[in-house]
Amino acid sequence: MNAAESKNRFSFEDTLKFENAVGFENKYSYEQDVVFEANSSGKKAIEVENLNLWYGSNQALKKISLDIPKNKIFSFIGPSGCGKSTFLRTLNRMNDMIPTCRIEGKVHIDSENIYGKEIDVTDLRKRVGMVFQKANPFPMSIYENVAYGPKIHGVSKKEIPKIVEESLQSAALWDEVKDRLKDPAFSLSGGQQQRLCIARTLAVKPEIILFDEPCSALDPISTGKIEELMTELKKEYTIIIVTHNMQQAARISDCTAFFLSGELIESGETVQIFENPRDKKTEGYITGRFG
Ligand SMILES: Nc1ncnc2c1ncn2[C@@H]1O[C@H](COP(=O)(O)OP(=O)(O)OP(=O)(O)O)[C@@H](O)[C@H]1O
C-alpha cells in the first residue's frame, strides 16, 4: 500500500475519534473482541448455500454462500447496486413480493431451508425482523405502533402493556416516551422514530434483525444511539446490517462481507477485512480507490 492509499484508509483510531466527537461511548476494543470471541458460542444463525437471484433476466446475486454467526453484528458493504439489500431481503423472503424475482439456492435458519415448501412466510418474518432505511412508523400512537405486532400474532391483551414497555426499554426509547405513549408516532424525531421501529420489531420477539441502512437519514448523535443500541441488542439477537458507511461497519460489526456486482468477494472478521483484506478488490474498495 502506498502513502496515499494508507492515508485514505481509516483505522479503528479514526472510528474512536468519530465516537468522541459525537459523545458516543466507545464500547468496542480489540481486547473486548478477543474476550467476545472466547465467549462466543460459535453457533450459526444463518447458512446460505449457493444462492442465485434474478430480477427478470438480470442476475443480481451470483452463487452466494455465507455463514452468519449467532449473536454478532454482521455488516454487508459494497458499492451501490452490488446486491447488498437484495441479499439482505433474501434472508426473510422480502423479495417474494417482487413478481420478476426468481431465486435458486438454500438459506438455512436453524437447519431449516426457508425456501422450503412447508415454510410459513409470516412466521419467518416474525423470526427474522427488518428495520428499513427510512423510519416507517404506522400512523397511530407510539403505544399502538409497538402493540400492533403482538396483537396480530394473537398475544393476550393483558400481556401487551408489559411487552410494549420492555420493547421500548430494549430500544432505549422508554425514558423519552413513557409520559407520552398516546402521542402520534409522527410527533417523534427521526432518530426516535427509528428506535420506535426497532421497538416494534423487538415486540414480536425475533431471533434475527435485518437493518437496511438504518442510519442513513440520521444525524451523528442519533446514529451513535442506534449503533450503541445494536451493540446492546446483539447479546440477545443476531444483527445484520447493510451500510454504505464503512466507518460504521468498522465501528460496530464483528464480521463483514464485501459484495461487488452480485458476487460475494470476501467475508470474515471485520478487523481482518479492514486491516488485512485478502482480495485486491476488497482492498480497492476499502481504500476508496473505487466505489
Ligand atoms: N425490485 C427490483 N426490480 C428489479 N431490479 C432490482 C430491484 N431491486 C434491485 N434491483 C437491481 O438489483 C441490483 C442490486 O440492487 P440492490 O438494491 O440490491 O443493490 P445495493 O447494493 O443494495 O445498492 P444500494 O447500495 O444503492 O442500495 C441492481 O442492479 C438493481 O437495479
pLDDT in tens, 88-147: 999 999 999 899 999 999 999 998 999 999 999 999 999 999 999 889 999 999 999 999
Grid cell at residue 143: 403505544
Residue 57 lies in a domain: no
Report the amino acid identity of residue 268.
Answer: G
Distance 53 CA to ligand 1 centre (A): 11
Is the pTM above the cut of 0.90? Answer: no
54 lines ligand 1 (CB under 6 A): no
Residue 18 lies in a domain: yes
Could you report the predicted ipTM of this complex, rounded to two decimals?
0.98
Domain hosting residue 12, numbered range: 3-38+72-86+121-286
Instruction: Say how far apart CA 129 and CA 230 lie, in whole Å.
Output: 14
Residue with CA closest to ligand 1 atom 7? 55
Report the amino acid identity of residue 78.
Answer: G
Report the amino acid identity of residue 45.
Answer: A
Nearest residue to 184 via CA among 141, 136, 146, 137? 141
Instruction: Say how far apart CA 177 and CA 185 lie, in whole Å.
Output: 10
Our count of domains for the chain comes to 1
Distance 60 CA to ligand 1 centre (A): 7
Instruction: Say how far apart CA 270 and CA 181 lie, in whole Å.
Output: 39
pLDDT in tens, 34-44: 333 433 467 99
Distance 81 CA to ligand 1 centre (A): 5
CA-259 nearest atom, ligand 1 = 21
262-271: b or e for each residue (b if 16 or more CB lie within 10 Å)? Answer: bbbbbbbbbe
Instruction: Say how far apart CA 13 and CA 201 lie, in whole Å.
Output: 33
Supply φ then ψ for residue 152, to 5 degrees: -70, -20
CATH number at residue 220: 3.40.50.300
Residue 192 lies in a domain: yes
Provide the β-strand partners of residue 108.
47, 113
Residue 94 lies in a domain: no
Residue 17 lies in a domain: yes
Residue 239 lies in a domain: yes
CB 211, CB 240: distance < 8 Å: yes
Instruction: Say how far apart CA 32 and CA 26 lie, in whole Å.
Output: 11
Residue 273 lies in a domain: yes
Residue 291 lies in a domain: no
In this predicted structure, which of 26-30, 241-245, 266-270 has the lowest mean pLDDT?
26-30
Distance 144 CA to ligand 1 centre (A): 33
Residue with CA closest to ligand 1 atom 27? 80
Nearest residue to 225 via CA among 196, 255, 203, 184? 196
Instruction: Say how far apart CA 199 and CA 84 lie, in whole Å.
Output: 24
Question: Is residue 62 exposed (0-12), middle (13-18) or buried (19+ Cβ within 10 Å)?
Answer: middle
pLDDT at 219: 86
